[in-house]
């Protein structure tokens, strides 16, 4: 049983087997040199200290070799994306064939929908969560419009029930049972950005496939946070950014998953560029297009090495510690945070994130009664960095790589005084 004391929080930190990782990150500090209480790894992860070294290596090799760095650099640039594949596959539970790092999240979703959203006159609708991240909504609306369909009629929203904040899987099942003959695609956020709810990806795939719908997952708030086991889930595709829980830096490259069952289907419609052409003949410029198998077959252009170096710096840390250890600490850290929040004697706030640790990652979404963003502003003034989302939610993510139990305790103590 948890205890609401500083001594107890410090004891948990002493028992934490991966507490040493915190020292490997740059923690922002206030004007007096004290660490911020940083709870926005769900928006932008902190910088690993080794990132600078990884990027500097590529800058040095660019200076030393120029264009020959594609082959002569310590980490040759020509196959550089391959250095990330195994680590990224481990994080999302995929086979290396199924994963590639490329482009950015919404760009990847569009490229994937070129292949997996193939509407007909009668089967063309797309299902999303009612509170999907705006870029997902905009993306699917534009796909509907591009194919000549009405965006209102073609978009189906999976909504929470009246008076509830969380989605129920049986409601999605009813939607697909009732309208599946008209639905071409389910595009669902694996972890909802607003509530922090982790959805049953495998069950979503089963529901969609039962009616011959394609199923895609946006893992922007899932990759590096939960273990989605993408291959075993059976979803057709997924995409995610790397600058949140994967700590790769602002606007960095994204990841993409295409299930092995599609890996060798050269007839899938897709956009093409020279980087998804057969590696063996890529530089014989006059060869007809010969698409590579697997997720690499969705690449278009040679990748930005400096961004990939930052991703590699972080992925090497994930390889060192493993998702199992991170997830174990995440459940305990978030559980302690939840316990402390629930100890606060007030009716102004409540946690809308699922209380079951298996149905969430490390984010807790705190709903504030009669909110006007003033509480969030006061937290910021006290060097507590959280994330405000309209209309009334403060999102807090104690990230197991660099947040401590003491962080959580201090944050809640300050929150008490502000309330």
Both tokens assigned to 59: 């800058």
Q: What share of the chain is helix, strand, coil (3-state, %, to 5)?
A: 45, 15, 40
Q: What are phi and psi of 418, to 5 degrees?
A: -70, -30
Q: State whether 102 and 233 are in the same domain.
A: yes
Query: Cβ(239)–Cβ(257) under 8 Å?
Result: yes
Both tokens assigned to 95: 């086979």
Confidence band (pLDDT; 50, 70, 90) for 179? Answer: very high
Q: Of 302, 334, 356, which marks where a domain is finished?
A: 302
pLDDT at 228 over 80: yes
For 247-324, where are the E strands, in sequence order?
254-258
Q: State whether 275 and 237 are in the same domain.
A: yes
Q: Distance between CA atoms of 400 and 336, rounded to whole angstroms?
A: 12
More confident residue, 54 or 303: 54
Q: Whats the size of the chain, residue-wise?
A: 419
Nearest to 241 by CA among 28, 38, 45: 45
What domain range includes position 247? Answer: 81-302
Query: Cβ(42)–Cβ(387) under 8 Å?
Result: yes
pTM: 0.95
Q: State whether 85 and 172 are in the same domain.
A: yes
Q: State whether 290 and 340 are in the same domain.
A: no
Confidence band (pLDDT; 50, 70, 90) for 282? Answer: confident
pLDDT in tens, 359-410: 999 999 999 887 778 888 999 999 999 999 888 899 999 999 999 999 999 9
Query: Cβ(97)–Cβ(263) under 8 Å?
Result: yes
Both tokens assigned to 40: 């926005």
Q: State whether 218 and 357 are in the same domain.
A: no
CB-based contacts of 251: which residues, under 8 Å, 6+ apart?
104, 243
- Looking at every residue in the chain, the average pLDDT score rounds to 96
Q: State whether 150 and 278 are in the same domain.
A: yes
Asked if residue 51 is part of any domain, the answer here is no
Asked if residue 326 is part of any domain, the answer here is yes
Average the pLDDT over each of 99-113, 191-205, 359-373 and give the range with the smallest value.
359-373
Nearest to 364 by CA among 410, 319, 395, 335: 395
Q: State whether 205 and 293 are in the same domain.
A: yes
Look at the alpha carbons of 157, 162, 166, 170 in this order and tell me if their dihedral is positive or negative: negative
**What's the domain count of the chain?**
2
CATH code, 38: 3.90.1150.10
Confidence at residue 21, expressed as pLDDT on a 0 to 100 scale: 97
Q: State whether 148 and 284 are in the same domain.
A: yes
Q: State whether 147 and 239 are in the same domain.
A: yes
Confidence band (pLDDT; 50, 70, 90) for 356? Answer: very high
Give helix 323-343 / helix 305-321 axis angle, nearest 10°.
80
Place of tokens 């991240």: 133
Q: State whether 223 and 268 are in the same domain.
A: yes
Residues 249-260: what's their mean pLDDT? 97
């Amino acid at each position: 049983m948890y205890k609401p004391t500083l001594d107890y929080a410090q004891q948990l930190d002493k028992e934490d087997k991966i507490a040493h990782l915190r020292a490997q990150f740059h923690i922002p500090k206030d004007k007096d040199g004290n660490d911020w209480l940083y709870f926005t790894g769900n928006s932008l992860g902190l910088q690993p200290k080794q990132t600078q070294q990884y990027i500097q290596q590529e800058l040095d090799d660019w200076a030393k070799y120029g264009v020959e760095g594609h082959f002569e650099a310590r980490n040759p640039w020509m196959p550089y994306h391959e250095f990330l594949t195994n680590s990224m596959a481990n994080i999302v539970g995929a086979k290396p064939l199924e994963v590639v790092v490329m482009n950015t999240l919404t760009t990847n979703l569009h490229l994937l929908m070129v292949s997996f959203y193939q509407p007909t006159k009668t089967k063309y609708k797309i299902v999303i969560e009612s509170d999907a991240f705006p870029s997902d909504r905009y993306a699917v609306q534009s796909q509907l419009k591009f194919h000549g369909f009405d965006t209102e009629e073609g978009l189906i929203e999976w909504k929470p029930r009246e008076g509830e904040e969380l989605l129920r899987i049986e409601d999605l099942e009813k939607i697909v049972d009732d309208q599946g003959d008209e639905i071409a695609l389910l595009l669902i956020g694996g972890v909802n950005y607003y509530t922090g709810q982790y959805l049953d990806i495998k069950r979503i795939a089963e529901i969609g496939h039962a009616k011959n719908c394609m199923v895609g997952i946006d893992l922007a708030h899932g990759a590096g946070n939960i273990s989605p086991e993408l291959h075993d889930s059976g979803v057709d595709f997924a995409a995610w950014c790397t600058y949140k829980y994967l700590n790769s830096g602002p606007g960095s490259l994204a990841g993409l998953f295409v299930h092995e069952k599609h890996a060798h289907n050269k007839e899938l419609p897709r956009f093409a560029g020279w980087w998804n052409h057969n590696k063996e003949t890529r530089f014989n410029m006059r060869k007809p297009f010969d698409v590579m198998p697997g997720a690499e077959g969705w690449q278009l252009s040679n990748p930005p090495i400096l961004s990939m170096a930052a991703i590699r710096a972080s992925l090497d840390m994930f390889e060192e510690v493993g998702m199992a250890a991170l997830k174990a600490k995440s459940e305990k850290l978030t559980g302690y945070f939840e316990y402390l929040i629930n100890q606060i004697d007030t009716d102004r706030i409540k946690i809308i994130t699922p209380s079951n640790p298996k149905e969430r990652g490390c984010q807790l979404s705190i709903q504030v009664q009669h909110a006007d963003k003033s509480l969030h502003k006061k937290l910021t003034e006290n060097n507590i960095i959280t994330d405000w989302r309209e209309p009334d939610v403060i999102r807090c993510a104690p990230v197991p790589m660099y947040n401590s139990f003491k962080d959580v305790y201090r944050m809640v103590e300050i929150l008490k005084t502000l309330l």
